[in-house]
């Protein structure tokens, strides 16, 4: 890694350019020949695998089963639910030919899978005994309509899960919201060290075809919010469109109640953006492809002895952690330090002649840069302790940032001033009317990102119109 290969801009001064560099230079992603579509290189895909495995384990605890449905959706299925089709029609990519032949019917490349799944649900469900049916897909989707792709945050193709569940009663369906959002919160907080604000989206911002949408909202270092994992209560909207009915215990035909929910590779981008610094990535230990890197320091006289000791140490540590011994001869220790800092490896171990002599090693934390000398005999418990501390510290740091950049505004002028001068999330009181929501967006470029579940006491009238407020809303500029 030549010097120019490091990060060349400061995160605080040019976030957009910093973000692109911190994605490309450590080798996480790369651009593809298709505009707006990214290549996930091994380290990025490894992180996605950790998200997938961790979240999937949580799903299975509550009885979710994995399935797979086709990538292609016949046009007649896609148009069945009016609101859903209107919401997605600008983003749909179509297959119209196969070889030299025109297809009899256009096939949509799935922007989401409701319309390919629900005709099957209609066939499979006959009685209340068939319910609940709780399925999940791990797949890719394509959404074409946008102007400015951002690696992992906004791309035309991305990876995610799609949960599709169906129940006999609205009560059962609504109960699932806490289960699913609880699973997603564990993934974001415990695995990725990402805080967020959980709440309900407005009708304007909800998923196309849903009765309501709930989501975890994150705050990025540029002061903009971005939606994370979400849950959609679809009620009977899709079951009526696709005739998903069953005979209840009273032998009466009923429409089922449905939910959908998702987490995507966007979370990797959010994690990178929130935790990284001017040196590069800072990866939470739980998802880091390499958790420990060992860098030997030697000269021609002691080279073999030090390399021999570091190989023994690598073997010892590798039994507990994902470990890499960087014994490349063509690069200096300092060059290696910079490269592994760029890649975000949580712990670096430095071993030189003095360390070998004293049967010790130097541990360096990526999150703080702090060094400590430890005896080799005690290195495993020390690394374990460090990993826990680093995981906790980067979450607390991100949570402090979220708290410090969440403001309150009692008047419209105050709201506009905070958005202009400070950014972040602004909590205000809102009457619940769409006209005020639209005016807010037109005037400020910001929007209501959610209505937080934890509602405090109202502290003003509606910040836009001055009428009686109904809820506290979170407002921010967003991706």
The pLDDT tens digits of the residues spanning 195-252 come to 999 999 999 999 988 999 999 999 999 999 999 999 999 999 999 999 999 999 999 9
Q: How far apart are CA 357 and CA 335, in angstroms?
A: 24
**For residue 3, what pLDDT is reported?**
40
| pLDDT computed for residue 87 by the predictor | 66
Considering the chain, what percentage of its residues have pLDDT values greater than 90?
Answer: 92
Query: What pLDDT score was predicted for residue 85?
Result: 67
Are 163 and 59 contacting, i.e. CB atoms less than 8 angstroms apart?
yes
C-alpha to C-alpha distance for 113 and 134, rounded to whole angstroms: 14
CB 221 within 8 A of CB 90: no
Q: pLDDT band for position 149 (50/70/90)?
A: confident
Confidence of residue 84 (pLDDT cuts 50, 70, 90): low
Residue 44 has a pLDDT of 98
pLDDT at position 429 over 50: yes
pTM of the model: 0.95
SS3 (DSSP) at 366: coil
Domains and CATH numbers, the chain: 7-275 (3.30.930.10), 292-385 (3.40.50.800), 406-476 (3.30.110.30)
The two structure tokens encoding residue 19: 């973000």
Q: Which of 143-157, 200-214, 358-372 has the lowest mean pLDDT?
A: 143-157
Distance CA 297, CA 83 (A): 63
> With pLDDT > 70 as the criterion, what percentage of the chain qualifies?
98
Q: What is the mean pLDDT of residues 2-15?
A: 83
pLDDT digits (tens, 9 = 90+) for 99-134: 999 999 999 999 999 999 999 999 999 999 999 999
Q: Which residues lie closer than 8 Å to 178 by C-beta, 6 or more apart?
A: none
| Res. 82 pLDDT band, cuts 50 70 90 | low
Residue corresponding to tokens 């911002």: 205
- Cα(144)–Cα(155) distance, integer angstroms: 8
Tokens 């190989």 correspond to: 311
In angstroms, the CA 69 to CA 78 distance is 14
- Secondary structure of 18-81 in HEC code, one letter for each residue: HHHHHHHCCCCEEECCCCCCEEECHHHHHHHHHHHHHHHHHHHHCCCEECCCCCEEEHHHHCCC
Which element (helix H / strand E) includes 387? helix 379-404
Calculate the average pLDDT of the chain: 95
Cβ–Cβ < 8 Å for 414, 467: no
| Block residue for tokens 């919010």 | 225
pLDDT classification of 1: cutoffs 50, 70, 90: very low
State how beta strands 72-74 and 101-109 pair. antiparallel
Q: Look at residue 80 in the predicted model and tell me its pLDDT.
A: 78
pLDDT of residue 124: 97
- Report how far Cα 48 is from the mean position of its chain's Cα atoms: 9
pLDDT tens digit string along 275-294? 999 999 999 999 999 999 99
Contacts of 136 (CB under 8 A, 6+ apart): 56, 59, 64, 65, 66, 67, 161, 162, 163, 164
Longest dimension (CA), the chain: 87
């Amino acid at each position: 890694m030549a010097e120019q290969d490091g990060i060349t801009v400061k995160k605080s001064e040019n976030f957009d350019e910093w973000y692109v560099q911190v994605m490309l230079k450590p080798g996480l992603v790369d651009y593809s020949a298709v505009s707006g579509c990214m290549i996930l290189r091994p380290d990025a895909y490894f992180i996605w695998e950790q998200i997938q495995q961790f979240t999937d384990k949580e799903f299975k605890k509550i009885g979710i089963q994995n399935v797979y449905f086709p990538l292609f959706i016949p046009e007649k299925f896609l148009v069945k639910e009016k609101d859903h089709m209107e919401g997605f029609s600008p983003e749909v990519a179509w297959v119209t030919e196969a070889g030299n032949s025109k297809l009899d019917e256009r096939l949509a490349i799935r922007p989401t899978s409701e319309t390919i799944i629900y005709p099957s649900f209609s066939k499979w469900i006959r009685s209340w005994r068939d319910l609940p049916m709780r399925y999940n897909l791990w797949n890719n989707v394509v959404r074409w309509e946008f102007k400015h792709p951002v690696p992992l945050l906004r791309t035309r193709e991305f990876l995610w899960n799609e949960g599709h569940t169906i129940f006999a009663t609205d009560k059962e369906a609504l109960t699932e919201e806490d289960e699913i959002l609880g699973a997603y919160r564990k993934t974001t907080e415990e695995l990725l060290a990402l805080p967020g604000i959980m709440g309900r989206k407005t009708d304007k911002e909800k998923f196309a075809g849903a009765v309501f949408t709930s989501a975890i909202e994150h705050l990025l270092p540029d002061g903009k919010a971005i939606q994370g994992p979400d849950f959609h209560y679809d009620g009977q909207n899709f079951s009526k469109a696709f005739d998903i009915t069953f005979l209840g215990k009273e032998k009466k035909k009923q429409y089922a109640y449905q939910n959908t929910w998702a987490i995507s590779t966007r979370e990797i981008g959010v994690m990178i953006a929130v935790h990284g610094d001017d040196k590069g990535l800072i990866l939470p230990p739980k998802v880091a492809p390499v958790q420990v890197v060992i860098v030997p320091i030697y000269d021609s006289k002691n080279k073999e002895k030090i390399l021999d000791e570091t190989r023994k140490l690598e073997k010892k540590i590798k039994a507990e952690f994902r470990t890499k011994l960087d014994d490349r001869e063509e690069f200096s220790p300092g060059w290696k330090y910079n490269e592994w800092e760029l890649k975000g490896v949580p712990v670096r171990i430095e071993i030189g002649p003095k360390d070998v002599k004293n049967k010790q090693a130097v541990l360096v934390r990526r999150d703080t840069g702090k060094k400590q000398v430890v005896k080799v005999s005690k290195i495993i418990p020390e690394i374990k302790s460090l990993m826990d501390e680093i995981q906790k510290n980067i979450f607390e740091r991100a949570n402090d940032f979220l708290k410090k950049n969440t403001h309150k505004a009692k008047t419209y002028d105050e709201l506009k001033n905070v958005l202009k001068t400070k950014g972040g999330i602004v909590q205000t009181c809102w009457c619940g009317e769409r006209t005020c929501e639209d005016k807010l967006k037109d005037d400020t470029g910001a929007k209501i990102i959610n209505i937080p579940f934890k509602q405090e006491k109202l502290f003003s009238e509606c910040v836009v119109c001055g009428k009686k407020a109904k809820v506290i809303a979170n407002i921010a500029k967003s991706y």
